[in-house]
Amino acid sequence: MKNHRLNRRKFLCGLGVTMAVPWMESFAVWGSETTGKSNYKDKAPLRLGVIFSGNGFHSKEWWAKENGKQIELGQVLTPIVPFRKKMLFIRGLYNEEALKGNIHSSQTGNLLSGAPLASGGAIRSGTSFDQIIAQHYGRSTKVPSLAIGCERSNPGIHKNYSMLYSSHISWSSPTSPTPLEVYPALAFDQLFKDNSYRGEKSVLDVVLQEANRFRREISSTDQQKLDEYLNSVREVERRIEQASQRGEVQGWRPTLDKPNIERPPAGIPQDIAEHMRLMCDIMVLGFQTDATRVCTLKLNNDHSYLLFQHLGVNVGHHELSHKDDAAWLRVNQFFVEQLAYIAQKLEMIQEGESTALDNSMLLFCSSMLTGRHQANQLPVILLGGAGGKLQGGRVLDYLEKPNRKMCSLYLSMLSKYDIHLKEFGDSQKKLEEV
């Protein structure tokens, strides 16, 4: 089988649809801009995923400790036990600016930037580190960065600070939160459709002819990989359609001049479990297709009022967070399950001798350690291999160390992308151990 060497990304194209091809042995889909074999680079790109869970976690069950060669985890983290060897648990980091304002809004609006926040209803934060990466590498992908969530933003005011701060973690500029997409169908469209695409036709039907032609040019192993990939896209489309028909996706889709069903409560999906899984799948698809390399997933707002009736919990998330009871633990584990699900999906995607998880850096975090607004230290987990630049299977404790700034972590993460800044936010020194 002839091994083709391409000097550009391989896409399947149709009217209004551009779909990137995943890693294959027959085609070097991450080719360099030069044509010489010696200059060829077939290493998969490094992806960044930030997964945010508001209101903190159970005060007694968020922990990790090394016991010989094995890491023991608190009950909150039980879902990610299979990924301990690829996990970096970080204790003791904090955001100094978050301690200067109010609770919730001031603890979230600068979580990824460390910037001072404007009060009195004004909007001013700082460009978040994920957007720094997107600004450097966004031109390489269809979508420079994808910001998705499962709860609508809140435009209100809480204790003299805009609640837009508690509704957004990604900021494109100091005065502009990155537009947040809460509808799975529209998030999906961002990855595969352009402005010329109209209608409800499957994106696969649009590119089917080119996909069949491309299939004849690749090895039998890659044919199977292509089929699996296309099936995964079809499956997400199918689930989005089914969820929309059942009224389980947040909001409603106007199929008539006037809606024939009562509009669901604003900001609260009827089936939050399905909503979260769809958004997790869309993140994975974005990485798998190289449609984007930077994605933030806000599972809920800080100051969230999501309900979790599928867990047998009928108390709103914010109220629930003030008690370290069994219900709060179940909800915590449910959120960590989303991280585990993303990691599992990425681990199943083979990219040469590594996996998509090996080529990703997943940051799981919250704006407070516990539901009692404790922000003098933050819950932080890094998962993945960062293209061989991140060593997992470790617990790092900075609680008693002089440099324990979240922005120091971001400087370390930026360096994985060869973005070497003298300072970011309130830090001028990265965490050398990361």
H or E segment at 224?
helix 220-246
pLDDT digits (tens, 9 = 90+) for 143-173: 899 999 998 776 666 666 766 777 788 989 8
* Domain range summary for the chain, segments of one domain joined by +: 46-182+267-416
pLDDT digits (tens, 9 = 90+) for 13-68: 766 666 777 777 776 555 433 333 333 245 788 999 999 998 889 999 999 999 87
Query: Residue range 195-211: average pLDDT?
Result: 67
Confidence category of residue 256, pLDDT binned at 50, 70, 90: very low
pLDDT digits (tens, 9 = 90+) for 280-314: 988 998 888 888 999 999 998 887 778 888 898 88
Range of 51-55, 195-199, 369-373, 377-381 with top mean pLDDT: 377-381
Is pTM beyond 0.85? Reply is: no
Per the model's pLDDT, the better-predicted residue between 12 and 52 turns out to be: 52
CATH of 46-182+267-416, one of 3.40.50, 2.20.220, 1.10.287, 3.40.720: 3.40.720
DSSP 417: T
Compute the CA torsion angle 326, 327, 332, 337 (nearest 10 deg): 100
Compute the CA torsion angle 212, 213, 214, 216 (nearest 10 deg): 90
Query: Residue 326: helix, strand or coil by DSSP?
Result: helix
Taking Cα atoms as reference points, which of 106, 86, 109 lies closest to residue 98?
A: 106
DSSP readout, 269-302? -S-HHHHHHHHHHHHHHHHHTTS-SEEEEE-S-T
